[in-house]
Structure 1
């Protein structure tokens, strides 16, 4: 079986990447909310001349590092039940029916900033701002704050769930729906999918171990990814009227895709776990960089021109990753 090996990156190539972990900044978000901005790599590129896309067989890439465990149902409350008093170094505020503890940091900055992390909410404020003004600012932003705290809590809960068990009868997400793994001895094909039964039949020796099963399934997923991504790239390149130079599969643990200024596109094979609209969104996103090598308003308008429902897909992909992915 042929596995993929990741080539060394070229430091001289300009590229933009679609991250697994870092969410895109929300539209209309206050500058005071501390979210790392996406760097603008340079001016927009002119539209290339129309030529048939050149599809290059992906060069080998190594196995990616393990990713967290599958998704579970979200918690039923936005914030945990408060104790009798806030933890040391924290303050407490009542937001309707929710009691929120937060850390307050005074600094020389000129505005009030909010940062939500696994440790909770941290508020950074100028020294001259009163506590009443700080709490009023928290109340104004409470919808955003509670939403981000809930997202963090959901991710933490997912990480605590048991990992997928690689065995006969286990389920694997494929194109947005589960398929069942079936280990068969002596079949002619190494791996084949029974579409009607929704079963992925894997031929293995009787004494095969878990890693051999993982390798067979990963190789099959990568082969299907190479075929599907190639077809979808042609569709969306024609819609946008751009030409990419080549594409290859990626095993990156932090990006779903990337695009260089000279038209080299890389797409993460793990996208095969998700439904086709999410795959199409990533492909449209990367191809749009051939028009706009940034993440400004013109870039998102370009994405929308060929993928109108991109906002829904972007949110679904962000909410699903990376804890929903099996560990290979």
Structure 2
């Protein structure tokens, strides 16, 4: 297979696998024959990792949201259909979530009516939907924090929403909690794991055995939930 080859200030031969392919890095004076021997030795690992990277990319691309009338996105683990509705009762720029009375088989039962005209741009629809999702995230997160804090015998003081690329939450010793608003795409079971994780940090500001014991005391199946979170594909915006 083709690969990108780099030489630089390093002591060993290294391999980096991503959706764009394989990058091989080697010390400046390493012989090409030695690099090729290392490639043959790592052949199965490289092929496996390339397959995983491409599958992960495929899954991520399949979740990309098309910002148009009739598109869908996940909310609390359930698909929601977007509907441009300039007559929507909250006025231009607002949004109302409605539940279908008799949904068709395999069809989403939830519709978000967005108070924008049919001529609205994808950016306008995206920004209005994001504002709605962030409001829902604050509401849901606050409810779950209030629910679990007594179980862990802690008090949280402040909730902030983050847009971190890879971090779902954080906690400070002063009781401040930060949660990624994109968690609102996932089911409440997954949200609860992150909420309990951060609340447990108000007892133990580390990831030692005592910390995980606190998490397990509230969520005995936390390892299953954590595994699901790692596998979940976050919608591409």
Question: What is the TM-score with the length of structure 1 in the denominator?
Answer: 0.55
Structure 1 gaps of 5+ residues are: 1-82, 90-105, 125-133
1:209 and 2:109 matched? no
Greater helix proportion: 2
Other structure's SS at 1:230 match: helix
CA gap of 1:310–1:116, structure 2 versus 1, over 3 A, is farther
- For 1:282, which of 185, 190, 194 is the aligned residue? 194
CA distance in 2, matches of 1:158, 1:304: 30
Report 1 or 2 for greater relative contact order, CA contacts < 8 Å, sequence distance ≥ 6.
Answer: 1
CA gap of 1:162–1:174, structure 2 versus 1, over 3 A, is closer
Q: Is the 8 A contact 2:73 2:235 kept in 1?
A: no
Q: Give the C-alpha shift of residue 305 in structure 1.
A: 1.3
Structure 2 gaps of 5+ residues are: 27-37, 101-108
Residue of structure 2 equivalent to 1:195: 99
CA distance in 2, matches of 1:260, 1:312: 26
Q: Which moved more, 1:226-235 or 1:181-190?
A: 181-190
Aligned pairs for 1:1-328 (under 5 A) are: 117-118=17-18, 150-158=51-59, 163-189=64-90, 190-196=94-100, 197-321=109-233, 324-327=234-237
CA distance in 2, matches of 1:121, 1:207: 45
CA distance in 2, matches of 1:278, 1:267: 13
Q: Give the C-alpha shift of residue 162 in structure 1.
A: 8.3
Moved over 3 A (4+): 86-89, 113-117, 119-122, 145-151, 158-163
Other structure's SS at 2:69 match: coil
Deviation track 1:237-276 (CA, whole Å, cap 9, x = no partner) reads 1111111221122222232111112221011111110011
**Aligned residue pair count:** 217
Deviation track 1:76-106 (CA, whole Å, cap 9, x = no partner) reads xxxxxxx6xx8698xxxxxxxxxxxxxxxx9
Question: What is the TM-score with the length of structure 2 in the denominator?
Answer: 0.74
Q: Is the 8 A contact 1:116 1:149 kept in 2?
A: no
